[in-house]
Structure 1
Amino acid sequence: SVKWRDMEAWLVTDNSLPLITMKLAWRGGTASDPVDKTGLSMLMARLMNEGAGDLPAQAFQQAMADNAISLSFSASRDEMTGTLRCLSRYRAVCYKLLRLAVTAPRFDAEAVTRMKREQATAILRNQQNPRSIANLALMKLAFNAHAYGRVGNGTQDSLAAITQSDLRQHYQAMLARDNLHLAVVGDIGRAELRRVMRDVFSTLPAHNKMPQIAPAEIANGPQTRHIDRAGPQTSVVFAQQGLGHHHPLFFADFVMNSILGGSGFSSRLTEQVREARGLAYGVYSFTSNFQKAALWNGSVASDNTTAQEAVNVIRAEMRRMADEPVSAPRLAAAKTYLTGNYALRFDSGAKIAGQLLGVQLNGWPISYFKTRNQNINAVTQADVQRAGKLLSPDRLLVVSVGGTAITLD
């Protein structure tokens, strides 16, 4: 790691290509939006490269294009993230534009209006997508009134209520040095990175002013919600309490989920739902880890006449995971897949930077990159079964969108 005063960055120097990639994040994402102004963090992120300092939006975008610079921002529930990519020969202009974007965004009226239109279009698009509709309803069902249950993009009404003043105040509260995470990969050394940290970020406030997000409690199941929608298929999403990154069974749960539904065509759910019965093209399970909560999720889309059967098979496989130890060959195959596939997450500078940033945000030490596969290989059949016993097929939260209302009898 590289430190400069009260800031720290994780660096991988690679001079084989004349490229520099930076991933940055500030704690305080869409969950920090005011209740009546959901979508504020997402709108602010969209505007961070739409004019800064003495450069209005068009001039800022032209400066990026003239110097082959890519700079974009986004917001998730727990943080706002940014990605910068540039050729090292344009590093001076690259760092200047980054500094302007993070220290002096303009939030001009024209850009705000334009980005509101773009975000409003995304809201409408999601309202027409069955899976998006189901996922939003599932989050509301799981988190009730907690901020995690709100819409990241906001609603048409909340988006319309956001003002330039709201954006400036939110920016001033969020972007600081104490909640900044930084990962850098490419044609840049430690001394240069320290200068970047000094020149780009040092003028940010020392401390952020974001509200603290309370720990989230997952709703108890069984609970189902159906949203009727014309069409031949029913989209189903489901969830239950998951395991956080620091839970003793985290890696056992990771392996268990890979065997159950997280490894694509080699998973048990694919074998039983798709291959053995032809009930769906795809069926998946996965984990969603937030700063204040963890979910175990899954999804399937099936013909209206077979959607209930597909969910029944999924629940049966969940019970099987708890009742029967996995075979030694199946466990070995899962470990081989998870450890071998890990290298594919490091085949580009952008991916490496993303991994560096993700480990920081998860609160893991930098040694995680050495111990991750060791922890997976240490998982036993008994560990997998212990994780499987934490599955709750009779207490699931289920949302269906389509022609069939799912029941949990």
Structure 2
Amino acid sequence: MLPTNIIAKFRGSLLACTALLGMSSVTIAGDAPSVLDIQHWETEQGAQVYFYPTSNLPMVDIRVSFDAGSARDPEALEGTAALVSAMLTEGSDGQSASTMAYRFAELGAEISTGVGSENASVRLRSLSQSQYLNPAVSLFNKTLSAPNFAADTFEREQRQQLQSISARQQSPRALAIDALREVMFAGHPYAHPTTGTVESVERITLEDVQDFYQRYYVAANADVVIVGDVDRNQAEALADSVLAGLPAGQAAPALPEVSGLAESFVKHVPFPSEQSTVFVAYNGIARQHEDYFPLYVGNHIFGGGGFASRLNAELRQKRGLAYSVSSFLMPMRAGGVYAMSIQTRNDAVKEAVALMQTQLQAFIDQGPEAEELKDAIANITGGFPLRLDSNSKITGQIGALAFYGLPLDYFDQYVDHIRAVDSTAIQAAFAKHIDLDEVAVIVVGPEAPEQP
């Protein structure tokens, strides 16, 4: 266990710096952020590096992202990617997890890992002074390049992942999301839960974990994002130091395109509760699609804008069918989903589903009203600077830009893209991409829904 005085000392120092200097590294002019002058290069091993310098806080954030999410899980071994991610911080270079954690804490540095359907990431936050940054990067490198993958650690992490899967069975929202992916991505690597299933995780061996790591945790399969108080020369040296010891390898091949629904589908997940969790889902688009912005703005108006959205007005405020109802885009590299979501009384499921579909039909037929569009654009553009108001947020946003292959000037053009959306573009995009005759209704609750 780490000494609390060490943890308090460094966390207190970082919080004090944050409060005094602020975390924003973007100058706000009017209601739009200035250009994020993102620098990009490729290392000799084939890694893609994205660098944004800041000088208002003596900190550096480094994120290394691999195309190693659960979509890369071997067949029948779903959950492997999650196990690999969890084990990276469980000891490296022959040193225990507690020793590594202690050494990071001594330097005032923080390390974390994460994994999703599409990628896995490892992040470091450190003070930028060389006496802290250099040894922190060395430890970070060992985490990436020399994980212990000890047998006892594997068994413990495997048990914990099985417990996590069991815990998801008690959450109707989690069950609904898993069912949504299963139906909308049927036959595709996106279809299974990131943590896998009980059966698949029990089949995974330590050798499977090591094989996955060796295939996907390679330089050519990595994006490196560096944001903080360093210059270009330092950033280049940091990128090389972070990746040292990793083989060049090869980038993961592109995933097949999502085929999507070909006909309407109903899936009922029995769950004893007084309310049902419902998704009404349609085929969507990939993140890189040219119609992303009209769909994004249109969704904000229709159901993504909170209490101001049409769905909320019609189903919550007028009819009291739910406290919360919404819609969302799920755009990914190889395809996507557009869905509406509601939690409602069991006896109101049929009415709620019909009303959501009726509202979507009307939105496609008529498009948004001028005042709705004006308010949505003002809300989206007004809130955009908050997505870039800290080094950590900038690191995450650049990481997404890198993974989805968006242009380097994406953030500079973002507000203009939003403001360029008009009612005609929204109506055309919704009519083009959302086929109301191909719908999946997912209900987690005590009663099965009717076929749409």
1:158 match: 200
When the two structures are aligned, how many residues end up with a matched partner? 409
Determine the C-alpha separation between the residues in 1 that align with 2:403 and 2:241. Answer: 24
1:66 match: 106
Contact 1:318 1:388 in 2 (8 A): no
2:445 match: 402
For the residue of structure 1 that corresponds to 2:258, the secondary structure is coil
2:381 match: 339
Determine the C-alpha separation between the residues in 1 that align with 2:159 and 2:430. Answer: 45
2:294 match: 252
2:222 match: 180
Determine the C-alpha separation between the residues in 2 that align with 1:200 and 1:182. Answer: 9
- Name structure 1 gaps, 5 residues minimum: none
Q: 2:211 aligns with which of 163, 169, 186?
A: 169
Determine the C-alpha separation between the residues in 1 that align with 2:367 and 2:251. Answer: 49
| Cα offset, 1:408, TM superposition | 5.0
Paired residues for 1:349-360 under 5 Å = 349-360=391-402
CA shift digits 1:348-402 (9 cap, x unpaired): 1110100111111111111111111111111111111112323333421111011
For the residue of structure 2 that corresponds to 1:178, the secondary structure is helix
Determine the C-alpha separation between the residues in 2 that align with 1:388 and 1:200. Answer: 44
Determine the C-alpha separation between the residues in 2 that align with 1:196 and 1:41. Answer: 26
| Cα offset, 1:151, TM superposition | 2.1
For the residue of structure 2 that corresponds to 1:301, the secondary structure is strand
| Cα offset, 1:316, TM superposition | 1.0
TM-score normalised to the size of structure 2? 0.87
2:10 match: none
Determine the C-alpha separation between the residues in 2 that align with 1:11 and 1:82. Answer: 16
For the residue of structure 1 that corresponds to 2:91, the secondary structure is coil
Contact 1:307 1:404 in 2 (8 A): no
Determine the C-alpha separation between the residues in 2 that align with 1:143 and 1:295. Answer: 9
2:12 match: none
2:372 match: 330
| Cα offset, 1:211, TM superposition | 5.8
- Would you say 1:81 and 2:121 are equivalent positions? yes
2:88 match: 48
2:20 match: none
Q: In the alignment, residue 22 of structure 1 is paired with which amino acid?
A: I
Determine the C-alpha separation between the residues in 2 that align with 1:378 and 1:213. Answer: 32
Q: In the alignment, residue 350 of structure 1 is paired with which amino acid?
A: S
Paired residues for 1:4-403 under 5 Å = 4-5=43-44, 6-89=46-129, 90-208=132-250, 210=252, 212-389=254-431, 390-403=433-446
> Does 149-158 or 375-384 show the bigger shift?
149-158
Contact 1:77 1:290 in 2 (8 A): no
For the residue of structure 1 that corresponds to 2:357, the secondary structure is helix
For the residue of structure 2 that corresponds to 1:112, the secondary structure is helix
Determine the C-alpha separation between the residues in 2 that align with 1:408 and 1:384. Answer: 29
Q: In the alignment, residue 55 of structure 1 is paired with which amino acid?
A: Q
Percent of aligned pairs with the same residue?
28
- Name structure 2 gaps, 5 residues minimum: 1-38
Contact 2:288 2:333 in 1 (8 A): no
Determine the C-alpha separation between the residues in 2 that align with 1:66 and 1:109. Answer: 28
Determine the C-alpha separation between the residues in 2 that align with 1:136 and 1:372. Answer: 32
| Cα offset, 1:212, TM superposition | 5.0
Contact 1:307 1:406 in 2 (8 A): yes
CA pair 210-322 structure 1, distance change in 2 beyond 3 A: closer
CA shift digits 1:21-69 (9 cap, x unpaired): 1122111311111122110000000011111113122211221222222
> Does 246-255 or 229-238 show the bigger shift?
246-255
Contact 1:260 1:269 in 2 (8 A): yes
CA pair 2-360 structure 1, distance change in 2 beyond 3 A: closer
Determine the C-alpha separation between the residues in 2 that align with 1:148 and 1:107. Answer: 26
| Cα offset, 1:11, TM superposition | 1.8
CA shift digits 1:76-107 (9 cap, x unpaired): 11211122112224212210111101111111
CA pair 184-147 structure 1, distance change in 2 beyond 3 A: same
Determine the C-alpha separation between the residues in 2 that align with 1:287 and 1:61. Answer: 38
Contact 2:280 2:353 in 1 (8 A): no
CA pair 359-209 structure 1, distance change in 2 beyond 3 A: closer
For the residue of structure 1 that corresponds to 2:194, the secondary structure is coil
Contact 1:237 1:297 in 2 (8 A): yes
Determine the C-alpha separation between the residues in 2 that align with 1:201 and 1:63. Answer: 20
Determine the C-alpha separation between the residues in 1 that align with 2:307 and 2:262. Answer: 31
Contact 1:32 1:211 in 2 (8 A): no
For the residue of structure 1 that corresponds to 2:124, the secondary structure is strand
CA shift digits 1:301-352 (9 cap, x unpaired): 0011212211111111101111113221111111111111111101111101
Q: In the alignment, residue 396 of structure 1 is paired with which amino acid?
A: V
For the residue of structure 1 that corresponds to 2:76, the secondary structure is helix
Q: CA RMSD in A?
A: 1.7
Q: In the alignment, residue 443 of structure 2 is paired with which amino acid?
A: S
Q: In the alignment, residue 146 of structure 1 is paired with which amino acid?
A: H
Determine the C-alpha separation between the residues in 1 that align with 2:125 and 2:262. Answer: 44
Contact 1:181 1:361 in 2 (8 A): yes
Contact 2:261 2:439 in 1 (8 A): no
